[in-house]
Structure formats: C-alpha cells, structure tokens
Structure 1
Amino acid sequence: MKQLKKVLPTLLLAATASLANAQHQSAPGDTTLTKKPLKLVHAEPLYIDLIRDLGAHKGEKEWNIGGGLTDNLGYDQYEFLVEYEWAPIDRLGLEIEVPVTMYSRNNKDRNPEINRPSDRIESLKLAAQYTFLVSGRLQTSLAVGGITEFEMTDLDRIGKEELFHGILLNPFLVAAKRWGSNFHSLVYTGPRIFRPFGHGEGRTDYEVNTSVHYMIPGTRNFLGVEVNKQFTSEGFDMVIRPQMRVTINEGLMIGIVPGIPVSKEKERLSSFVRLIYEPGHRKLRH
C-alpha cells in the first residue's frame, strides 16, 4: 500500500500530461478551427485597386497612401489619398478612403481663374467587397461590391454651402484569373451613379477597367498594364497605365504607375505612386 501511494502521484502526472498532449494534437474539430478557406493569389491593379484581396481571410488589413500628378490642358492636378481596408470575416473586405485633389496653374493656362477647378477634399468613401467564388480548378475568383462616396463641396465654399453636395454609388463586379503560375488577368466593371443633394442634374457613367500582370516567381513583385475605360454622356475616355510593384520588405510595397491617355483633349501624361503597408502580413503560397 505504501508503495502504491508513492507511485500513484507519478502515474497521475504522466496520465495528465499524455491526455493533454493527445488533445492538443488530435482534438476533434481542431483542424477546422485553424483551417482557412481557399484563397488564390491575384495581381491587383494599382490605380483602380480592389477593396481587399479577393478571397480575403479574416483579420487581414492594409494601409494605402497614394499621390499623383496629371498634366491637364490648362492646369496641373495633384491627387492624394489615404485609405484603410480590412477583412472582418473571411472573403469580406471593407474600406474607408479620403481622397484630396489640388490644382495649380501651368504655363499653358491663359485664363487660370476661369479654367482651374477649386481644391477639394473629394469625398468620404466607404466600400465593401465580397468574394463569392474561389475556384482552385479554374484558378478563378469572382467578387461583387459597392462603393458609396459622399462628395464634398470645394474647400473655398465650405461654410457658404452644405459640406456634402451629392452622393455617388458604384456597384461593381470583379473577375480575376491566373494563367499558369505567373500570369494574371482581372476585369473590374460597373456603373457610377451620381445624385446631387438639392439642385442640379445627376449623371450616370460606366467604367470598364482591365489589367494583365506578370508576377515574378517567388516574390510579390509584378509588371503589368492597367487600362481604365470610361463611358460618359460626353463620350469615351481611355487611359493606359503601365505599372510595377516592388516589395520593400515582407509587409511594405510600392507601386509606380505612369498614365498615357489615348485622347489628349482633356489631359496629357500623368504619374501615380502607391505605398502599400500590410501590418502582420504572412507570406502566402502561390
């Protein structure tokens, strides 16, 4: 009996450790808790970017800071943006963005006060995107989403007019496909419906943005081209944007985008740079 009393605590301790180890390794449903739904890597265009990665996983987040310059016929246009995007649940991306546009006179402007628009905080932009299909067999992802922009009045009119002068709605569809290991294509399309608060006429435009990229094997770097096409009541506009994305470190990338308009009636060459920061990014297997 005395020997049993001595051995019993040791046996109990060993049994407890063994049980805990077994539960940790093969508890029922344990793999289900950690397993994430399928997500394909797609090259995302840099100028008209997505709300979040297609097939985003819960907890993903990203900061973007962008800046650009466009040479218009009578003035130069400077654009800046700050945006934050995150995935509260698997496959759902949300975004909030504040874009700012400023203008300056250039040497071609003979009537600067007449031709040059006023500086403005463009809008408060809220957006959502849901990936409803991720097919490993087809290497394809499909998503739907919507952008709501509360458009703001010019900076020199704040205090004299209402802060928000209209709302812009942009429902959209995204289709992306991988061709082999390194080539990617994407289509982003939908109407842009503006409705003013109060007086003034609304308008409806339609945009079709297409892109093709080559992703350098073993990296997140890519080279490609994005083509932004817009159909308006005034006609058709198209801008070709060659682009490249370069990884600075695991969670920080920079995108460089020149713009070449097909028609130079409204604008000439442009440039745009996007700094992309993904806190806590983990490398995703291609």
Structure 2
Amino acid sequence: MKLLYTILFSLFIYTFSFAQVSILPKPAKVKHAEPLYLDLMRDLGARKGEAEFNVGYGTGRFKNRVEHHTFVEYEWAVANRLGLEIEIPVLFAKDDLGHSTNRVEGLKFGTQYTFLVDEKRQTSLAIGYVHEMEFGKSNPNVRNTPLFEGLISSPFFIAAKNFNQISTLIYTGPEFEYGFKSREMQTNFVLNANIHYMVPNSSHYIGIENDMRMEHGHLEYIMRPQAKLALSPQIAVGLVCGVPIKSDEFQMDFMTRLIWEPKF
C-alpha cells in the first residue's frame, strides 16, 4: 500500500505541475507573412516546440543551362524565439552542350533569434546565421576527391512590420564564400524585400518577394510573385515564380514547396 500511495502521490504532483505549465500564458508573437523562396529558420517570435517540415521542387532556365532543384528541410524552435534549421539541397542540371550535373549540393544549417516582438506596433526584429558546407564535384578521373569544396557563411538581420493585413519584411546581410582549394574569400551582399497581403481569418497570403544580390560588383534582381495556400491547419503549399528584372544569366524559374507544421 505504501508503494501505491507513493505512485498516486507522484502522479498527482506530475499532473498538477503539467497543468500549471499548460496554463502559463504563451509568449507574445506577431503573425507575419514569411517569404517562400528565401524562407526563415522559423516564424518570427516562434514558441518553443513549434516545428515545420518542407519538401520542395524548383526548375529554372538560365542562359546556357536548365536546372532542377529539390530540397528537404526541417526547422524547429528549441526555445522561445529561437529557431534552428537543417536543409539538404539537391541539384539536377544540364547545359546546352548536353553535360549533366546531378548531386547533393551540400548541408545547410541555420539559426535565428527574434530579439524584439512588439504586438502593439506589429513589429518583429531578428538576427541569425546560415552556414552551408558545399560538397565537392565528384570526378571519377580524380582520386581522393575532397568531400567538401568550400563553405558559405551568412549572418543576417530581419525587420518585419504589419500594416493591418499588409505584411512587410526585409532580410539582409553579407555572404562570405570560401573555397578550400583556392583559399580565396568572396564577399557578396543579399537584400530580400517582401510585401504580402494576408487574407483575414486564414493562413493564406499573396505577395512579391524582391530578391536582390550583389556579386562581383554586379547587381542581380529577381522579382518573385508568390502565394501560400493553407490546405488545412497543418498543411500548406507555396507557389513561387521568378521574373528577371536585372540579370545576365537568369531567365525564369518556378518553385513549389509543401509545408507541414505538426501540432506541438
């Protein structure tokens, strides 16, 4: 009987503690429309335990080649306002001469922390970092081909503000590319400016993602009209097309992603 009373008392304490935790107010969070091409590590102001799976496919036409991309991505909030992400991108490409490239491009890791959530002003601010290890291009004629050929290091800053149903967001920061063989560092700069209309009482939104990139002193600007359609409270699909405004190589592309947010 003593053992039974001990077990019942322990269960009571556990149930009481769980109930106390469950009734605690959730941390503040402002709902912003997330860009679908250059997506974030988690929602701004993410709450601990939130998670999201993404599977995507995209195809693009460049001046001398066609590329097909797929990716698998998992992101989760390990603490309130702190999100982590891991992504595996895969490339299938073929140029006009018939040369093909089929490979896993690398491993991509990211983290993001929302340091300001202002519900009154409908504003969120965040900082983060993305680190990508690029796999080497396999060559059967070369022995001991290195596993990784370089890395990309990208610290970034995010500012987002809502104006009623209009969501605006800016993602910007430098991008450092380092080649292990050449031992050279190249610095690029990324500016991603977004404006979306969020459909009231739903998770649908439509908008435009303006993807600007400064590389080798040249500006590339791709406009990406897009839409997110919520098929259920946990499942959504994103549709994005790319239109070149200023680019020497890029001609057009299309991307779709399937988004699943399990309950937590």
TM-score (norm 2): 0.88
Map 1:216-231 onto structure 2 (within 5 A): 216-231=199-214
The answer as to 2:73 corresponding to 1:89 is no
2:64 to 70, 74, 77: 74
Map 1:238-257 onto structure 2 (within 5 A): 238-257=221-240
The answer as to 2:50 corresponding to 1:60 is yes
- 1:150 and 1:31 map into 2 onto residues whose CA distance is 39
2:155 to 171, 180, 191: 171
- 1:246 and 1:176 map into 2 onto residues whose CA distance is 21
Aligned amino acid, residue 88 of structure 1: V
Aligned amino acid, residue 236 of structure 1: L
Q: Which is richer in helix?
A: 1
The answer as to 2:213 corresponding to 1:215 is no
Q: Give yes or no for contact 1:119–1:154 (8 Å, CA) kept in 2.
A: no
1:272 Cα shift? 0.3
Q: Percent same amino acid among aligned pairs? A: 37
Aligned amino acid, residue 237 of structure 2: I
1:133 Cα shift? 0.2
Aligned amino acid, residue 169 of structure 1: S
The SS at the match of 2:196 is strand
Can you list the C-alpha shifts for 1:87-111, whole angstroms capped at 9, x where unaligned? 1111000000011111024xxx2x3
Q: Give yes or no for contact 1:68–1:273 (8 Å, CA) kept in 2.
A: yes
Partner of 1:126: 109
TM-score (norm 1): 0.82
The SS at the match of 1:261 is strand
- 1:183 and 1:59 map into 2 onto residues whose CA distance is 27
Change (3 A) 1:135 1:124: same
1:229 Cα shift? 0.2
1:30 Cα shift? 3.8
Can you list the C-alpha shifts for 1:197-222, whole angstroms capped at 9, x where unaligned? 23342211000001000011111000
Can you list the C-alpha shifts for 1:204-252, whole angstroms capped at 9, x where unaligned? 1000001000011111000100010000114000100000000111100
Q: Which is richer in strand?
A: 2
1:34 Cα shift? 2.1
The SS at the match of 2:201 is coil
Aligned amino acid, residue 131 of structure 1: T
Can you list the C-alpha shifts for 1:14-39, whole angstroms capped at 9, x where unaligned? xxxxxx9xx97xx9x94796222101
The SS at the match of 1:249 is coil
The SS at the match of 1:148 is strand
Size of the aligned set, in residue pairs, is 249
Can you list the C-alpha shifts for 1:6-65, whole angstroms capped at 9, x where unaligned? xxxxxxxxxxxxxx9xx97xx9x9479622210110000000000000000000000001
- 2:90 and 2:161 map into 1 onto residues whose CA distance is 33
Deviates more, 1:196-205 or 1:123-132: 196-205
Query: Any unmatched runs of 5+ in structure 1?
Result: 1-19, 282-286
- 1:194 and 1:119 map into 2 onto residues whose CA distance is 22
Q: Give yes or no for contact 2:131–2:153 (8 Å, CA) kept in 1.
A: yes
Deviates more, 1:156-165 or 1:259-268: 156-165
Partner of 1:184: 167
Partner of 1:6: none
Q: Give yes or no for contact 1:121–1:154 (8 Å, CA) kept in 2.
A: no
- 1:264 and 1:275 map into 2 onto residues whose CA distance is 28
Q: Give yes or no for contact 2:220–2:247 (8 Å, CA) kept in 1.
A: no
1:73 Cα shift? 1.4
Q: Give yes or no for contact 1:133–1:142 (8 Å, CA) kept in 2.
A: yes
Partner of 1:263: 246
Aligned amino acid, residue 82 of structure 1: V
Change (3 A) 1:156 1:33: farther
- 2:247 and 2:173 map into 1 onto residues whose CA distance is 25
